[in-house]
Structure 1
Amino acid sequence: MSEPGGTAESRTRSFISGVVEGFYGRPWTMEQRRQLFKREQKWGLNTYLYAPKDDYKHRMYWRDLYSVEEAEQLKALISAAKEHDVEFIYAISPGLDITFSNPKEVSALKMKLDQVREFGCRSFSLLFDDIDLEMCPADKQAFSSFAHAQVAITNQVYQHLGEPQTFLFCPTDYCAAMCTPSVSRSAYLHTVGDTLHPSIDVLWTGPKVVSHVISVESIDEVSSVLKRAPVIWDNIHANDYDPQRLFLGPFKDRPSELIPKLKGVLTNPNCEFYPNFVAIHTLATWCKSTADPGQRDVEMSDEDQDHSYSPQKALSLALTDWLQEFLNTDQPGGPRSSPTRPTKGSLDEEPMQTDVGVSPYVPGPGDNPLYTAEPLTLEDLNLLSELFYLPYEYGPTAKTMLQELNWLKTNSRAASASAETDQTAEWHSRAQSFDKMCEAVVQMFNRLSNAPNRRILYDLYDYICDIKSGVGLARAHIKALGKRENRQVGYDVIAESMGSC
């Protein structure tokens, strides 16, 4: 057994804040994770939890040790996290097929974590989420419940690793909706609270897997049962359960009064790396907020319940910073990048573009003028965010567009009235306003498509193509109604296409 984690004073930790890469789907690249660490340091976040579901050796083949090449990558990643003052927590998820009562299985788990510890990792997590609730016959004989089996192996591993300063446990019942019959009466959670080592922190997603609101009262309740403050694994921006959706709205509906009630918050965001700028940036703003109204430093409307954190203000700050990322011309493949001819011996092959030094084309008097892309604006990013807002709500512009589309369809008879009436005039006026909103989406798409930073664009491209298509269909349908044509173009499909975005 290695040396213990240290004295009580040295084990005191700050509020855990950061990102968990815990979604289903293609994991982020090593370079993207390094970029994440830089952003976390810049924005004041301090933690990264490595838990990609589709890393085979994290979950499906958890017993297998990392190869030499994989080991080098993880070593470099752990080192990069340290360079940016980010705590790297390695998570392993053995619950799919582990036999808790088999000593060989426990040894395999310890061996795997020992290998990762050799890479320089000092913080760990055991995850038992999204697994079968039925124990095998051997475990049923050895343990009185599923919770007892999980806690037993977690405590063993925790002690084997020398009681690390940071060690997280994800229960199988990780949200209130999964607790039977309730959080306060859950035998599973009570077992975890009573028998899990008191220095091990517990992950919790809130009332649901994807929680709309996380209240202080709900955290007080689960903390009482667990006998410790939880670390929130927040899925508010997760989109792995619906590949047609993307979430670009602010971190919200978590009052800042929660901060002293929690051990920390980790956001499990969109699968696509680059669109997570808003999710992580606004979380960082929230973590810096205070529940003391006397220290309020942002303007808020009366209906806002939180007197220290304004989601709209946080979103505005994030989008302002994100705009600069979009306009970064130091990106490969961007429309403003300037290819240069390599020096002799610098590259084995010539670049595809070798026209450096050639005089730029100047159109003649009768030729078409050169195409000039308009630069992306902050208004464009606001519109983008509102079209792809949050799981439980649309942004204001998206809601208005859906409402107007529904009104124009419902009142379409006014468009075809033989005589001009007030209703007919109103219909055509609103149809014209709706068309302008659709045109704004098209122009936003065009400017996004020409943004220099292609890496962000490629993560967004499928989504913005879908919304452009949906808006185009809606626009064509309303124009057809305005021309008093009787053809149908699938209104329900149009509305669903807009609504899913």
Structure 2
Amino acid sequence: MSEKSKMFLSGVVEGFYGRPWTMNQRMELFRREQKWGLNTYLYAPKDDYKHRMYWRDLYSLEEADQLMALICAAKEHGVEFIYAISPGLDITFSNPKEVAALKRKLSQVSEFGCRSFALLFDDIETEMCGADKEAFSSFADAQVSVTNEVFQHLEEPQIFLFCPTDYCAAFCTPSVQLSKYLNTVGEKLHPGVNILWTGPKVVSNDISVASVEEVSAVLKRPPVIWDNIHANDYDPQRLFLGPFKNRPAELIPKLRGVLTNPNCEFEPNFVAVHTLATWCKSSPGQKDVSMDGEDQSSDYDPHEALQLALTEWLLEFGRADSPDDSRSRGARSKREASDEEPMQTDGHVPGPKDNPLYTAEPLTLEDLTLLSELFYLPYEHGPTAVAMLNQLHWLRSNSAAATTGAVTSECEEVNEWRQRAEKFDDMCAAVVQMFNRLSNVPNRRILYDLYNYICDIKSGVSLARAFVKTLGTFTHSLDIKLNKSL
């Protein structure tokens, strides 16, 4: 086996629904992957028409130039570019012309310099057409037959991935071990083809060694994990900035690789990709962290990985230039200082009665930690978010007791309620402060990817803050009336 065929695939799959990333964003991803030690990029944006809906159509000259530039950039950064195609929406597996169209499309991409490929059959209807029912004994047989034929047509690439329709345990009937579909795939798919798997669910909270061993036995090969833990395309109101978590380091020698399919927005994925890279560097076979991340005997600690990522990400917020500005950056560097337009505040000194100049406060690591904990993971809030929710619930549940305490002059309950209310107010103020600092960061590209989310969280926190103040005002007014009556 070659080194490439034995390589542990680690990196990113652009496989979400929604607006695909730009060419410049992908170029920046390759730079980050190289810096952090990741080695793979799987091109599979669902809303690229020629990847999925119009998979038969060849790329135009302009599109070909873009793909060639992308493939070349990946190679320059030591990243394996895997081109994926999803013909499952309407392919007739038994029609030779359809199979020929699939081969023609992949051959075209091969001419662009691509050497690694993937066939994806996820998120499609499982009912076969009449012609396929006559030609194949099952849906799995149809997929495997075409995949094997394409694999051989491409002269058995060293990296070739297959995504089954039943790509997680929750889809398997009646179970992973007894799934006729998976057993057919495992028995008949060419052993040189690797299989993608998302774990127990589409979005898996945890992926255990036992679950991977179970599916590996059925597939007769270790899977490549397509990890949706940071994906947000199924809920556009959520964003996930927590660490790669609940995947034991012991998985590494039992897998062919791990590719994260992260948030649709490019810039917030700094944390997802960075922490995955940290996990990939952890020593296999070591005891992993417990579910709460408190086990210090592991080589990978999600809390430490998160802080490493946030510390490095903080530097990016301070950069006025961003990946999409690379062309203009060179032009600006050549300008003379005298050619630069002066800042609006240059030379302006406020008078004694004028408004002072507005000075933006710099973003801090504490701000980024708070941001991450408010937008943590699909099944888990960060510690600060949990504390805020618990505090709000307590204040609401005990407002009646505090009111009774004021009326009956039992001040202990009232004092505790007020102390908790003040603490909650301070936490809300920190969120507003974080929003204000983020709004003034020099790197506007990051801000624009975050802006809708931080606006929503600021509004929600402000409403909760006003609600608690209303409860406190009512309690305080009763207390005043009681004191006056005494």
- Alignment partner, residue 429 of structure 2: 439
Separation in 2, partners of 1:373, 1:354: 21
- Alignment partner, residue 136 of structure 2: 143
Pick the aligned partner of 1:176 from 158, 161, 169. Answer: 169
Cα distance, 1:87–1:469 mapped onto 2, change above 3 Å: same
Pick the aligned partner of 1:406 from 393, 412, 420. Answer: 393
Separation in 2, partners of 1:423, 1:62: 67
Deviation track 1:137-173 (CA, whole Å, cap 9, x = no partner) reads 0000000000000000000000000000100000000
The reply on whether 1:211 has 2:216 as its aligned counterpart is no
Cα distance, 1:198–1:69 mapped onto 2, change above 3 Å: same
Cα distance, 1:358–1:274 mapped onto 2, change above 3 Å: closer
Pairs within 5 Å for 1:109-188: 109-188=102-181
Secondary structure of 2:42 counterpart: strand
- Alignment partner, residue 387 of structure 1: 374
Pairs within 5 Å for 1:30-45: 30-45=23-38
Separation in 2, partners of 1:217, 1:152: 30
- Alignment partner, residue 4 of structure 1: none
- Alignment partner, residue 220 of structure 1: 213
Normalising by structure 1, report the TM-score: 0.89
The reply on whether 1:262 has 2:251 as its aligned counterpart is no
Q: State the Cα distance separating 1:341 from its structure 2 match.
A: 12
Secondary structure of 1:484 counterpart: helix
Deviation track 1:245-292 (CA, whole Å, cap 9, x = no partner) reads 000000000000000000000000000000000000000000000134
Work out whether residues 229 and 377 of structure 2, in 8 Å CA contact, stay in contact via their aligned partners in 1.
yes
- Alignment partner, residue 229 of structure 1: 222
- Alignment partner, residue 85 of structure 1: 78
The reply on whether 1:315 has 2:315 as its aligned counterpart is no
The reply on whether 1:428 has 2:437 as its aligned counterpart is no
Work out whether residues 5 and 159 of structure 2, in 8 Å CA contact, stay in contact via their aligned partners in 1.
no
Normalising by structure 2, report the TM-score: 0.92
Q: State the Cα distance separating 1:12 from its structure 2 match.
A: 3.5
Work out whether residues 232 and 238 of structure 2, in 8 Å CA contact, stay in contact via their aligned partners in 1.
yes
Cα distance, 1:358–1:255 mapped onto 2, change above 3 Å: closer
Letter in 2 for 1:304: D
Letter in 2 for 1:379: E
Work out whether residues 293 and 303 of structure 2, in 8 Å CA contact, stay in contact via their aligned partners in 1.
no
Pick the aligned partner of 2:315 from 324, 335, 347. Answer: 324
Separation in 1, partners of 2:230, 2:257: 17
- RMSD over aligned CA atoms reads 2.5
Deviation track 1:33-91 (CA, whole Å, cap 9, x = no partner) reads 00000000000000000000000000000000011110000000000000000000000
Cα distance, 1:324–1:300 mapped onto 2, change above 3 Å: farther
Letter in 2 for 1:329: A
Cα distance, 1:464–1:97 mapped onto 2, change above 3 Å: same
Work out whether residues 293 and 308 of structure 1, in 8 Å CA contact, stay in contact via their aligned partners in 2.
yes
Separation in 1, partners of 2:29, 2:98: 34
Separation in 1, partners of 2:432, 2:86: 44
Q: State the Cα distance separating 1:343 from its structure 2 match.
A: 7.2
Letter in 1 for 2:430: A
Q: State the Cα distance separating 1:224 from its structure 2 match.
A: 0.2
Q: State the Cα distance separating 1:366 from its structure 2 match.
A: 1.3
Pick the aligned partner of 1:469 from 437, 442, 459. Answer: 459
Pick the aligned partner of 2:54 from 47, 57, 61. Answer: 61
The reply on whether 1:107 has 2:107 as its aligned counterpart is no
Work out whether residues 402 and 475 of structure 2, in 8 Å CA contact, stay in contact via their aligned partners in 1.
no
Cα distance, 1:204–1:306 mapped onto 2, change above 3 Å: farther
Work out whether residues 53 and 59 of structure 1, in 8 Å CA contact, stay in contact via their aligned partners in 2.
yes
- Alignment partner, residue 357 of structure 2: 370
Work out whether residues 300 and 307 of structure 1, in 8 Å CA contact, stay in contact via their aligned partners in 2.
no
Q: State the Cα distance separating 1:340 from its structure 2 match.
A: 7.7
Separation in 1, partners of 2:55, 2:438: 41
Q: State the Cα distance separating 1:305 from its structure 2 match.
A: 8.5
Separation in 2, partners of 1:39, 1:18: 10
Separation in 2, partners of 1:56, 1:354: 43
Secondary structure of 1:429 counterpart: helix
Separation in 2, partners of 1:233, 1:400: 32
Unaligned 5+ runs, structure 2: 477-486
- Alignment partner, residue 494 of structure 1: none
Separation in 1, partners of 2:291, 2:191: 39
Letter in 2 for 1:478: V
Deviation track 1:391-441 (CA, whole Å, cap 9, x = no partner) reads 000000000100110110011113433235211110000000000000000
Work out whether residues 275 and 309 of structure 2, in 8 Å CA contact, stay in contact via their aligned partners in 1.
yes
Work out whether residues 64 and 112 of structure 2, in 8 Å CA contact, stay in contact via their aligned partners in 1.
yes
Letter in 2 for 1:447: R
Letter in 2 for 1:318: A
Secondary structure of 1:280 counterpart: helix
Separation in 1, partners of 2:120, 2:106: 13
Letter in 1 for 2:142: A
Separation in 2, partners of 1:104, 1:220: 39
Cα distance, 1:325–1:11 mapped onto 2, change above 3 Å: closer
- Alignment partner, residue 13 of structure 1: 6
- Alignment partner, residue 449 of structure 2: 459
Work out whether residues 300 and 310 of structure 1, in 8 Å CA contact, stay in contact via their aligned partners in 2.
no
Cα distance, 1:303–1:10 mapped onto 2, change above 3 Å: closer
- Alignment partner, residue 278 of structure 2: 285
Cα distance, 1:369–1:327 mapped onto 2, change above 3 Å: same
- Alignment partner, residue 27 of structure 1: 20
Cα distance, 1:328–1:158 mapped onto 2, change above 3 Å: same
Q: State the Cα distance separating 1:485 from its structure 2 match.
A: 7.5
Letter in 1 for 2:467: H
Separation in 1, partners of 2:263, 2:425: 31
Separation in 1, partners of 2:458, 2:466: 12
- Alignment partner, residue 484 of structure 1: 474
* Structure number with higher helix proportion: 2
